[in-house]
Amino acid sequence: MIERVAPTDSEWLHCSADHLSRYMFAAELSKGRHVLDAGCGTGYGSAILKCTGASRVLGVDTSSTALDYAQTHFAVDGVDFILDDCQELSKVTVAIDLICSLENIEHLTKPEAFLRRACDLLRAEGVLVCSSPDRASTPPFIDGEPANPFHLNEWLKDEFTTLLRRYFSSVTLYSQVTSHSYLARKAAFEHLCHQWTWLSVQSPLNKASRLLATLIRRPPPPCRSIGNLLLPTPSDFPIVRAEIASVFGVPICHVAVCQR
């Protein structure tokens, strides 16, 4: 399991699509607003928010290594990065229009402290966009703790809503889903791999296929090569109202839009 991913990492193509979808969802709410990106990590999301219309973005993270990467790769005009604890945000001294906490709250020892501080920082009409994995879709807990070693908390839908409503009077819950179309493509790919294994190992045509490959000096493509056909895109992980999530796919993540 990976704590964070950056565009220069080898895992980026496989791991980034759902993250990008969440930032593009938040970007629709950030236009013309002063935004705080809480738990900004390597900074690509902060840059996305600014380049898609935010007036200014402040990225906050506890990792100096991640922020060094952000400063090097995403030094966009109007984006500032600071080292701070999201449970305290003591270095944030201005009122904020929009706080984005995307896949961050589950890492906090005191999520309630973050939510209280978010209320303090937001303007009267301010908005918090907060996402966290849907516990119904994550691996089972081990000894009462999340299986993901980087997560301290994971919530079911009702639990997550209850937590947020302690601090925000208006909570609209969305679900990010793995789309039915992506799951169908994945099933088709697995079937293709199964058929290719049979053809290359058990089929009477095996020798002929190897001979042909030798003649054209090109080995038959293994499943790990054609696996790139299955690389996901942000559109494979749409964010929709929680009430209709099953229409679009299988829920994997809660996304809440909160106002005081």
**pLDDT at 202 (0 to 100):** 59
114-159 per-position pLDDT tens digit: 999 999 999 999 999 999 999 999 999 999 899 999 999 999 999 9
109: closest CA among 62, 143, 50, 66? 62
Residues 6-25: what's their mean pLDDT? 94
219-260 per-position pLDDT tens digit: 555 555 666 778 999 999 999 999 999 999 999 999 999 998
> By the 8 A CB rule, do 129 and 256 touch?
yes
182-209 per-position pLDDT tens digit: 999 989 888 777 776 665 655 655 666 6
Residues 204-220: what's their mean pLDDT? 58
Token readout for 111 is 């999520």
21-38 per-position pLDDT tens digit: 999 999 999 999 999 999
57-77 per-position pLDDT tens digit: 999 999 999 999 999 999 999
Q: Taking phi first (over 0 means left), then psi (-120 to 50 degrees means alpha), and beta for anything else, what does residue 136 get?
A: alpha
Angstrom distances, CA of residue 229 to CA of 7, 199, 213: 19, 20, 22
User: In one letter, which amino acid is 219?
Assistant: P
* Dist. CA 86–CA 119, nearest whole Å: 13
